[in-house]
Amino acid sequence: MKYRDLGRTGLRCSEISLGTWSFASQVYGDVDEAQAYAAVDEAIASGINVFDTAPLYGSPAVNGVAEEVLGRALGSRRDSILISTKFGRYSTDPSPNFHAGRARESVEASLARLDTDRIDILFFHSPFSEADIHDDVWAELDRLKREGKVRFIAHSLSMFQQTKGMALRWAREGLIDVVQVVYSLLNRETEEFIASMGALNVGVIARESLANGFLSGGITRDTVFAPNNLNSRYTREEIAERVDQVERLSFLVRGEVGTMPQAALRWVLENPAVSTVLSGARNGAEIRDCAAASDAAPYTQDELERARKMHAKDFPAA
């Protein structure tokens, strides 16, 4: 596993990191808790030191199920890794809650669920506009930092086109030190923004880099998704279009890059402004496969140019 600077934070992060959405939300199917523990164990054994979670990754009745699972899985190994979580959206109430009181309440609850005394990176969880942000939240976040409960403030972007300006301004003003954005072979709309973050020395965590599983190598034109799977929303035509695009990019599987997930993650890592790329692996075998992308030989400029020419369109993110 190779490591990169997480922007201006002074933190060193593994090139591959582990996201925990699937530990609780079941958006890609059922996940056994023992498999989640195995995924965390294998991630640490593979050199991964960044784990991303959120209160939103829960159930309609209980916030932060994934945080609880992650806390139990990490056990005494907390000090060797970095935890990022979020605030502002919750599985019991997904409407925006970006104000001082909710920020503190959220952080305190996350600390308890994770069984830790600090959050390394705290993300605003997908505000859709400036109107979602209460002015009092910034002073409260600063107090949480001074108390040592939060180390760095960050912004996880959704509704990218309408929120990128807000994130860029926050980064320039020094209000945030890390961003999290969708970036994959099937969705490249954030490339200019990522370059801007790199110029500001802001850390970039790439997410959905397997394009909600379409770059996993396991989805075909005939795949039928279970009703609780995020991809069940797509028509047969939309599924075929995505599969066709992946097939055109399959030349990226070569040599040390032995699988499509490795190719997808390796391609993201070719962007020097990316600090780490999130894997949503659900078990030990999947995370071991993803982690191998870090040590694979970089793509040549010819391969990258060919991949650029093969890109037909940006598919919407989740």
What domains sit in the chain, N to C, each tagged with a CATH number? 3-310 (3.20.20.100)
Find where tokens 């996350």 sit. 110
**pLDDT greater at residue 223 or residue 206:** 206
The average pLDDT across 216-235 equals 84
pLDDT tens digit sequence for 108-158: 999 999 999 999 999 999 999 999 999 999 999 999 999 999 999 999 999
At residue 234, the pLDDT reads 86
pLDDT tens digit sequence for 155-170: 999 999 999 999 999 9
DSSP string over 76-110: GGGGGSEEEEEES-BTTB-S--BSHHHHHHHHHHH
- Does the pLDDT value for residue 239 go beyond 90? no
Q: What is the pTM of this model?
A: 0.94
The average pLDDT across 73-95 equals 94
Contact partners, residue 142, CB within 8 Å, separation at least 6: none
At residue 228, the pLDDT reads 75
DSSP H stretches of helix in the chain: 33-45, 65-74, 100-114, 137-146, 160-172, 191-199, 236-248, 260-269, 284-295, 301-310
- Does the pLDDT value for residue 177 go beyond 60? yes
**pLDDT greater at residue 226 or residue 194:** 194
Burial class of 87 by CB neighbour count within 10 A (0 to 12, 13 to 18, 19+): buried
Question: How does the average pLDDT of the chain come out, rounded?
Answer: 93
